[in-house]
Chains A and B, each alone.
Chain A
Amino acid sequence: SQTIHQWPATLVQPVGSPLSLECTVEGTSNPNLYWYRQAAGRGLQLLFYSVGIGQISSEVPQNLSASRPQDRQFILSSKKLLLSDSGFYLCAWSGMDTNYGYTFGSGTRLTVV
């Protein structure tokens, strides 16, 4: 069966520090991968999605970047965190046929102080 792993679960980082959040999927190949952010009291905002290795689409201009160095690995990064980067970050995957929905990871709570 397919599983998605996301870590760390919580992270507290100072303003201006770098960020790296990792997401991996097991049990499937060539998944579509997604990074979402939830700010406090707000809905889901799609940040990036990827349909293949090295293929990244950005949905919103921001201080973050994403990379997909391997088929089932998706990384969210920042060179210098801002206070506004605080939030709950969720990784998700879908098959090539996205009509069956997404499967989400357990999320990372990022607090920038």
Chain B
Amino acid sequence: AQSVTQLGSHVSVSEGALVLLRCNYSSSVPPYLFWYVQYPNQGLQLLLKYTTGATLVKGINGFEAEFKKSETSFHLTKPSAHMSDAAEYFCAVIGIQGAQKLVFGQGTRLTINP
């Protein structure tokens, strides 16, 4: 079985500052990992995903995440926050064997201060 924990339901950073959203996963099989972004009253949009290969994954809008198996983490970062990054972010995991459903974290709401 898989599970995801997102540390911090709300994160607030200043415009231009580093964005760090934390995600830890639990999986009994090698995982595939995802980050989604949701703007108000919209659906979820895929930011990036890790399947196999390079553990540092680059996504859209300048975001990236690093898969660290030893730490069971997949934290999302962006070097310089922009006002347009204000949204809710969801981390998700799926096991590469058998499981058919993504398991989502509870989400982190990112606020950008001018």
Chain A residues with a Cβ under 8 A of chain B = 6, 32, 34, 42-44, 46, 49, 51, 88, 90, 92, 98-107, 109
- Within the complex, the shortest CB–CB distance from A42 to chain B, in Å, comes to 8
> Of A32, A43, A104, A105, which contacts B105 at CB under 8 A?
A43
**Cα–Cα distance between A88 and B107 once the two chains are bound (Å):** 15
Interface string of B67-109 (1 = CB under 8 A from A): 0000000000000000000000010101010011110111100
> Of B43, B49, B107, which contacts A104 at CB under 8 A?
B43
- Within the complex, the shortest CB–CB distance from A35 to chain B, in Å, comes to 12
**Cα–Cα distance between A93 and B102 once the two chains are bound (Å):** 11
- Within the complex, the shortest CB–CB distance from B18 to chain A, in Å, comes to 25
**Is there contact, CB below 8 Å, between A105 and B43?**
yes
At the interface, yes or no: B61 with Cβ under 8 Å from chain A? Answer: no
Using Cβ atoms and an 8 Å threshold, which residues of chain B touch A102?
A: 44, 102
